[in-house]
Structure 1
């Protein structure tokens, strides 16, 4: 993956925002997510993936599942500044929402996974998150649960199909169903001009004129829809360091993408996050340091655009962001296969 930035960004922010608004490039969220050719979405895969997503036996203690940090009965995150894993260990970054993650061009804050499939392999072997020794041990745990064999065969055919690649494909297939379309904004850009309030429409215009669309564009407001999957869309945060917010919200403590690439130019570079359903995903930023969406808008304007927004401008933009709250598909708990008595051995 190669870090992406916007050439001459500072001088073109306002122009980019105005162009998007003027050219009618506001885009509604698709109701289905694209799937890679080597992992087409099927009902059997989604069923299996949902089971694995909710199954805490993926973790060394049998206590942490994907759902633990990505609550799909609400905002797709855990509302903690940073997440808690096995043995009560605390991670270093805020859990990003899993809703609409299928539209990210890379996964994780630092973009280290090019796809949902690769992302699914990360948490199980993270010492803080799920704490498994390696991926072989992770899938070995699943193999010891006899009830899973039939579900893997339904999804991937007969034979030796209980493996980590297929488990990751199934989880990714389920996550591609986690789409929240038909927000007030989506209905508005499709032609229903009464779907958004006057304040939300005003906020939409302010959002563009301020320059926010230079990064937060596309259907999910997380970068260009033309960005190839796996390449990632990254931006330096803060782009304009030196404000009081650097210290107040500890913005310079995390190395960002540089922690993965070891490249100085990637310091404080992060994948551009989706702006959909922000009302459901507090606290905000990579370290979860902000509880208020109003404050987050002010901080972003100052640190990314070097602009001091007026209170009414902030309120209008927040009103627009509320228009991005979509419809959540109904979630039901899966029935998991029973646990053999000798499976979980770690306390």
Structure 2
């Protein structure tokens, strides 16, 4: 009799875990599109290939030590897994480098949204004195023009332009390349109707995520990336000094507001939050529950949600993420400069 009761309890638990999330609750999510192309910057194969080279190009930094891939490593799901990234002469900023995968679908770029799109974002780090530290756009263009192969590649990528090697075109090429970094996962198959794409445990975690109210911010295609929210909405977030979006908008009402991060590939992109201060996904979920939702979440519920979050890890397009052969330096190509 006792064993029959245990079996009944076990079956009841499994049935509860396997219970489907109602379809109407899934309407707040959308699957990834096949492409993230922009009509303002239409893709061509020549532009994509150039952008891929420029993404890995260390000579776009003053010391020739750093490239886009230094902080947004394509072999590490678009991050470097550090709290803050190393830049020129060992300097570090005060914000975590977010993943570049699926980034083109965000409402804006950077934690504070100061760049409208990935093309605008690509211009920033190259000239930032803490990051790649190039002195000005002219130096970047001069460096690229010193390599005949790049001159030919720019002409092919931007045909018909009298002077195709420009700073804007550099950013356009990098942007077109980044727009190909889409990472579909089992989650997308689940949203498309394949209920076997997620395990019973993962679906149970999804149910907990929805019941807790997490989808109030983490919804849509990216499960985030589409709004700014105050960090510490329910309770003041301890030790918070970064004023977030208000530094850009000059709006006191946006103090401590940050762009909500995407949850796609979240299991691979630690550490978390704008400053990289949270090391584990369990801790991130606990803190979100406490300071954003005003809840003390049970350990079993945290585990369930994290189990589901891991299903959001997608497939990295290997054909795009390996480093290509880069053009050789020319006689006039600047040498590495670490003087200041």
TM-score using structure 2 length: 0.88
Match in the other structure for 1:201: 203
2: CA distance, partners of 1:324 / 1:150: 40
2:134 aligns with 132
Over residues 28-72 of structure 1, what are the superposed CA-to-partner deviations in whole Å (9 max), with x where a residue is unaligned?
A: 112211x22221011111100011000011111111100000000
CA distances 1:196-230 after superposition (whole Å, capped 9, x unpaired): 11111011111111111111111111155xxxxxx
| Structure 2 residue 326 is matched with structure 1 residue 336 | yes
Q: Hey, what does 1:269 align to over in structure 2?
A: 257
Is the Cα contact below 8 Å between 1:234 and 1:271 reproduced in 2? yes
Contact 1:81–1:283 under 8 Å retained in 2: yes
Q: What is aligned with 2:234?
A: 240
Match in the other structure for 2:7: none
Instruction: Kindly state the Cα deviation for residue 140 of structure 1 after the two structures are TM-superposed.
Output: 2.2
Q: Which residue of 1 aligns with 2:221?
A: 219
Which residue pairs with 1:40 in the alignment? 42
Match of 1:12 in 2: none
Contact conserved, 2:233 with 2:291, CA < 8 A, in 1? Answer: yes
Would you say the 8 A contact 2:158–2:164 is kept in 1?
yes
Q: 2:155 aligns with which of 139, 153, 156?
A: 153
- Structure 1 residue 186: Cα displacement: 1.2
What CA deviation, in whole Å up to 9, does each residue of 1:293-332 have, x standing for no partner?
0010000111111111111110111011101011111122
User: CA offsets per residue over residues 162-202 of structure 1, 9 Å max, x none?
Assistant: 00111111000000111101x12111121221111111101
Of 91, 94, 112, the match for 1:92: 94
Partner of 2:188: 186
Counterpart residue number, 1:13? none
Secondary structure in 2 matching 1:295? helix
Answering whether residue 304 of structure 2 is matched by residue 302 of structure 1, we say no
Task: Give 4+ residue runs of structure 1 displaced > 6 Å after superposition.
Answer: none
Q: Which has the larger radius of gyration?
A: 2
Query: Would the aligned equivalents of 1:301 and 1:308 in 2 still touch at CA under 8 Å?
Result: yes
* 8 Å Cα contact 1:31-1:180 kept in structure 2: no
Q: Partners of 1:217 and 1:120 in 2: how far apart?
A: 26
Across the aligned residues of Structure 1 and Structure 2, the Cα RMSD in angstroms comes to: 1.7
Residues 20 and 208 of structure 1 are in contact (CA less than 8 Å); yes or no, is this contact kept in structure 2? no
- Tell me the secondary structure at the aligned position of residue 253 of structure 1: coil
Q: Would you tell me which structure has more helix in proportion to its own residues?
A: 2
Matched, 1:281 2:269: yes
Q: Distance in 2 between matches of 1:332 and 1:30?
A: 23
CA distance in 2, matches of 1:345, 1:292: 37
Residues 111-151 of structure 1, C-alpha deviations (whole Å, 9 max, x = no match):
00001110010001111001011222222221222220111
SS of 1:180 mapped into structure 2 = coil
Q: 1:20–1:26: 8 Å Cα contact kept in structure 2?
A: no
User: Does structure 2 conserve the Cα–Cα contact (< 8 Å) formed by 1:39 and 1:169?
Assistant: yes
The answer to whether the 8 A contact 2:77-2:316 is kept is no
Give the match for residue 3 of structure 1: none
Aligned pair partner of 1:169 in 169, 172, 192: 172
The Cα shift of 1:25 comes to 4.0
When the two structures are aligned, how many residues end up with a matched partner? 314
Distance 1:23 1:98, change over 3 A: closer
Any conservation in 1 of the 2:235–2:294 contact (CA below 8 Å)?
no
Q: Where does structure 2 lack aligned partners over 5 or more consecutive residues?
A: 1-20
CA contact (8 A) 1:21 1:208 kept: no
Displacement of 1:279:
1.3
